[in-house]
Structure 1
């Protein structure tokens, strides 16, 4: 619970006007990375937003609603983590765009600043800047238990008096102290009366003119207008020109002013800490986390451990997921057979079994593998190991024109390229950011798992090599191929862009923690739900459309083709089963889908692909997962009804010589194509949104398609011919 003196120290504006209490408050959460800000957001709103242990996971404003008291509700806005109000990246500019525009309808009533109680000196820099902006604030003192274990004791009442704001101790992970924080948040707060730093007299004329022109309530806010006007999105071109003119008129040196400010603020913070914090003991032994870090970030063992983690992940995707996948596969097959035996023959039954159910099976069967992938990623983030991976990979990335911060988007690309590209906003260097955005789609996302696993299981035997399953080894090889292609492409782009500017990677390691299994479970649930509902809708819709295109054709071509087959059947005396297969194959080939595939076939024949694969390549541009649903639908139309699974349908496909069509050479040609090919339309759309130009997504599409085509041709011509 919060100290009574702490709550009483809050500057209040009285009981509050009825009209003020009638409308919901808007409260912004702000704090350093790893200070517990997003965990507090989860506790307040119940939205269970994903929490990451490495800087940059929050790259957008996120909001939710919190019931502070039975009569008081508030909108909570979660801002990106930052160390100061001088933004270094695009995600941090979200903060300045919100807090520097008091006239905005999104302007918060006050802010809750989360600070790490075990590292108050660093955390109070941001708080002091916010206080000097004139923003009403509450200090949420998180990780007090960690501070106590380290012998750090904080006088809450004295700290509240020095800062001029309520100080509420809490533990954002467990929820301890959050109830007390809600009570304080429900009160009307005034701006803190304390000022931590004032601009010197030399810049006062500039500050006064800016305050008068923009009608600002704070000298410090006017100073930030002078320093950051070109980055403030809400200012017009005329306003920026006005500020720039004043900056030149007064010869304002923003860099020198910022350095002077930082020194002055830390001097004041040190005075406050001397009055409010006592340390009863110092660490005699090296922290356990440091000893663990020496192993996990070792220049040799660190990489070996990371590779072992990846091996475990990909082995699990095949070995652990196989049993539930088989159950789902058998269930879909049994349902398809039951429908065909129960419903009367006709177009409706075929639509349900060959269209809807085939597409649905292509979605549901991969749920175990998707769940395992995100379970591993969630555990790595929750424990703090992912932050060590980003540090470890920094040295590996730099020779290729990438910074350490590029690791976060690249690793996130294993899940989905769309949020991964958005995560590149944390990269300060423009060239590093553009290179990262360009190469991130080459990382094999979770949408490729269905493609990879179907084809790998089709041609790679289910055998073990030592302790490792051969299929898992091949799957990991495909992911590593994507990683190496991303690094090689980054190096090439670095040369083309002549990127010589130096960038620096500074990050804070979070403490090691046991995973919160509730968060892990919620992450799995949310990701699987997104896969089923978002990708599933596209897959089923395209499967139904394809069934229609594959079942009907222009004019009388299908009837003519069927008549020709029946004449040949009479000559060769085919069995009814053979006749059925040949009729279905002829009708498929002369359908709308078949006509379209045949038009595309000359372009893809050098890759070892036929017109059926061509249809799947095009439809999967909507989403990579659609490939499996498309193949299932296409081969459902031309195969026996008792072949219920995708693998059975592909394995039964024959070439013109009556041999299995999907040979290892053809399967690996297709796998390599999907490793390099552009992921989906959504990836191109988000690249356009992040770069504000069609030049980058167009270059991505041309480059990756060309790379996929060339690699696939190489595999087929060397291996398949």
Structure 2
């Protein structure tokens, strides 16, 4: 049988992990702690902008790493591990911790760990610390939120606590940077394992534990006990290793669940005894009253939901309205840059650069204001402590549909743009809940659909009042948004039954104290999310935009030259102006391009939906972005890309079918509207799903499902109404 090579002492893992060199020492440090213990604030204080987001090997979980200069001679790589309450993982995020810390031969195994603990809630936070201590990992305890503890009347004898825990302890306030310098000095030293132990396995377990220690060459009993508990879930173990552990568990009748429960009880008993000597609490009721009064309003069964709806309304208005001006500036800037490039000359390379690459970059940069605003709001809500209350209120409702309390913000944000909405699902810890949320977010009608909705609704829906108050066109528009929301919820409910996940979905949410946001952390969050979108999803968006440009700009043989000659002949006969002539040429060229050929080739497939080859081309080109539909229809009907909505509507209203009847009947318009409600017509969304799921499986499933749903419902709509 294969054995996991585990050594007693961590060894250098590459040329950068050295001591005594001219460049100084270089250490690898892992940050670990409970959620809301200040771990992310500490990571930001240590690394600043010297951080990057990758993923842990073999899993779709983000891995945040950064670089910190501890002393002039000592630099450290900092690994920010996911927040967890215990070393018994309940989610995919938490499993990466055990995969890293239990395999001393792993690439990236830390030289030591920094455990962050909330000083105002030491009893709960020390459970994780004692588990790590019993693994005999070199560590330092960052006793964070000392200011909050003082406000709650909690006094901690740090020297006595340090003596009882057997590790260096640094009192600090990571949000304000207090204690960070002292922590760096300690981190630069050679640290040994804790001198205290907190839990001993029972005598009945020792024979099995010793066999595991010998087989895997482990350095202590507690690590061997965790191999027994979690062997089936440790990625680095071979099939033979797991089979061996399974045989031992069966032989010794190892009851993992009851043993975990008993261990937790024993640890809390030891922690309670320890804290009697080091912690004094005064003024608890007085300090907790303000928080409790706020919670009675913000989590009220009626007022809590109304307040949350108001917060969502403000968030939605910000993303929808406030981002419009910077997005227009970016759009104008990209158009200006493209025009400047065209001044350099003419030719395919100039056209590729201006209409393909620069236009594709514009499609990436256009989303930055929305992404920045969304994550600014989310960061403020999280930093203030309000987001925890929201997820608590919404979880019970959302869980019935296979979602999570934290799915609310992505779904609502999807009404502005699916790209930042999908990125915001990172706050959902459970893999299944997060995947379902990512999958259904694009069904929410985003702002990019508004140009399509506006043109088609105004085309076939009369501008009149309903009940003397409501505009009929506005009612139809609201109906389209509701249709998207209902489809998202029902799709999530269906996916809940189909999608299987080994980990159970637990909702553990701690209410952090209310506090003012730290704007440095908010700024770092915005920069990190924008960078992730631009450099990850942006590459795919630009590539596909260039591909679509090539298809729309070139055609088989001399088809485009012939199309231009035909267009000029028609323009001369009709005595068109130069601008009208250029629009007509663009329309004929698009019709005879590869995109036009493809549009005609798929026309038989979309005929049952009521569409012709012109609509087919619009469906193809709008895959880059849904709003491209209007520009494509403008080109096809020779009204120019800069035509206003009313001009486009007039051209569509005048279009005739083969029988001389109006082409865009209510049935066709409704069919097209339904298609755009459900279709995945956005490469940016697919690219972002690829970025968030670390693979093409889910984007392709998303594309197939939404395209199929759009086709079927569009077919039903047209056949019923025609």
> Where on the TM-score scale, by shorter chain, does this alignment land: which range?
0.7 to 0.9
- 1:653 and 1:310 mapped to 2: Cα distance? 38
Q: Is the 2:533–2:688 Cα contact (8 Å) retained in structure 1?
A: no
Work out whether 1:392 is the aligned partner of 2:390: no
Residue 321 of structure 2: SS of its match in structure 1? Answer: helix
Work out whether 1:455 is the aligned partner of 2:452: yes
Work out whether 1:269 is the aligned partner of 2:271: yes
- 1:504 and 1:361 mapped to 2: Cα distance? 41
Work out whether 1:426 is the aligned partner of 2:430: yes
Return the offset for 1:606. Answer: 4.8
2:31 maps to: 29
2:378 maps to: 377
| CA gap 1:521/1:471 in 2 versus in 1, 3 angstroms | farther
Q: Is the 1:561–1:587 Cα contact (8 Å) retained in structure 2?
A: yes
Q: Is the 2:327–2:369 Cα contact (8 Å) retained in structure 1?
A: yes
- 1:521 and 1:688 mapped to 2: Cα distance? 25
Deviations 1:503-557 (A, max 9, x none): 6523112222222333333444444455555555555554444444333322343
Deviations 1:397-456 (A, max 9, x none): 2332445466687678755576567766525xxxxx2x752453221499x856234435
Deviations 1:471-492 (A, max 9, x none): 9999987666444323212333
| CA gap 1:629/1:267 in 2 versus in 1, 3 angstroms | same
Return the offset for 1:214. Answer: 1.4
Residue 82 of structure 1: SS of its match in structure 2? Answer: coil
- 2:638 and 2:338 mapped to 1: Cα distance? 14
Return the offset for 1:281. Answer: 3.0
- 1:74 and 1:469 mapped to 2: Cα distance? 62
1:550 maps to: 552
2:489 maps to: 487
Return the offset for 1:85. Answer: 1.0
- Which 10-residue stretch deviates more, 242-251 or 452-461? 452-461
Deviations 1:544-600 (A, max 9, x none): 444443333223434444444455556555555544433332222112221111112
Deviations 1:20-61 (A, max 9, x none): 99552111111111001111111111137799xxxxxx9533
| CA gap 1:38/1:48 in 2 versus in 1, 3 angstroms | farther
2:228 maps to: 226
2:14 maps to: none
Question: Looking at both structures, which has the greater relative contact order when contacts are Cα pairs under 8 Å and sequence separation is at least 6?
Answer: 1
Return the offset for 1:649. Answer: 8.8
- 1:250 and 1:384 mapped to 2: Cα distance? 46
Return the offset for 1:72. Answer: 0.8
- 2:508 and 2:402 mapped to 1: Cα distance? 17
Residue 87 of structure 1: SS of its match in structure 2? Answer: coil
Residue 27 of structure 1: SS of its match in structure 2? Answer: strand
- 2:643 and 2:361 mapped to 1: Cα distance? 12
Aligned counterpart in structure 2 of residue 138 of structure 1, from 118, 137, 140: 140
Aligned counterpart in structure 2 of residue 121 of structure 1, from 120, 123, 134: 123
- 1:188 and 1:648 mapped to 2: Cα distance? 73
Question: Number of matched residues?
Answer: 684
Q: Aligned runs of 1:283-682 on 2, under 5 Å?
A: 283-284=285-286, 286-329=288-331, 354-355=355-356, 358-359=359-360, 361-404=362-405, 415-416=419-420, 426=430, 433=432, 437-438=435-436, 440-444=438-442, 449=446, 451-455=448-452, 481-494=483-496, 504-532=506-534, 538-569=540-571, 572-607=574-609, 609-611=611-613, 613-615=615-617, 617-618=619-620, 626-628=625-627, 632=631, 639=638, 643-644=641-642, 654=652, 657=655, 672-678=674-680, 680-682=685-687
Q: If the length of structure 2 is used for normalisation, what is the TM-score?
A: 0.81
Q: Is the 1:366–1:450 Cα contact (8 Å) retained in structure 2?
A: no
- 1:480 and 1:43 mapped to 2: Cα distance? 44
Q: Is the 1:32–1:81 Cα contact (8 Å) retained in structure 2?
A: yes
Residue 109 of structure 2: SS of its match in structure 1? Answer: coil
**What is the root-mean-square deviation in Å for CA atoms of aligned residues?**
4.4
Q: If the length of structure 1 is used for normalisation, what is the TM-score?
A: 0.81
Residue 36 of structure 2: SS of its match in structure 1? Answer: coil
Return the offset for 1:378. Answer: 2.9
Unmatched segments (≥5 aa) in structure 2 = 1-17, 54-59
- 1:300 and 1:660 mapped to 2: Cα distance? 51
Aligned counterpart in structure 1 of residue 167 of structure 2, from 162, 165, 189: 165
Q: Is the 1:132–1:197 Cα contact (8 Å) retained in structure 2?
A: yes
- 2:259 and 2:673 mapped to 1: Cα distance? 56
Q: Is the 2:556–2:594 Cα contact (8 Å) retained in structure 1?
A: yes
1:5 maps to: none
1:281 maps to: 283
Aligned counterpart in structure 1 of residue 71 of structure 2, from 61, 69, 72: 69
| CA gap 1:363/1:306 in 2 versus in 1, 3 angstroms | same
- 1:145 and 1:181 mapped to 2: Cα distance? 17
Q: Is the 2:621–2:632 Cα contact (8 Å) retained in structure 1?
A: no
- 1:600 and 1:426 mapped to 2: Cα distance? 41
- Which 10-residue stretch deviates more, 478-487 or 286-295? 478-487
| CA gap 1:347/1:703 in 2 versus in 1, 3 angstroms | closer
Return the offset for 1:148. Answer: 0.7
Q: Is the 1:597–1:615 Cα contact (8 Å) retained in structure 2?
A: yes
Q: Is the 2:198–2:270 Cα contact (8 Å) retained in structure 1?
A: yes
Residue 24 of structure 1: SS of its match in structure 2? Answer: strand
- 1:559 and 1:667 mapped to 2: Cα distance? 34
| CA gap 1:648/1:438 in 2 versus in 1, 3 angstroms | same
- Which 10-residue stretch deviates more, 368-377 or 324-333? 324-333
Return the offset for 1:153. Answer: 0.5
Deviations 1:191-221 (A, max 9, x none): 1111111111111111112112211111111
Deviations 1:678-700 (A, max 9, x none): 4654477579868xx96x77654
Q: Is the 1:456–1:475 Cα contact (8 Å) retained in structure 2?
A: yes
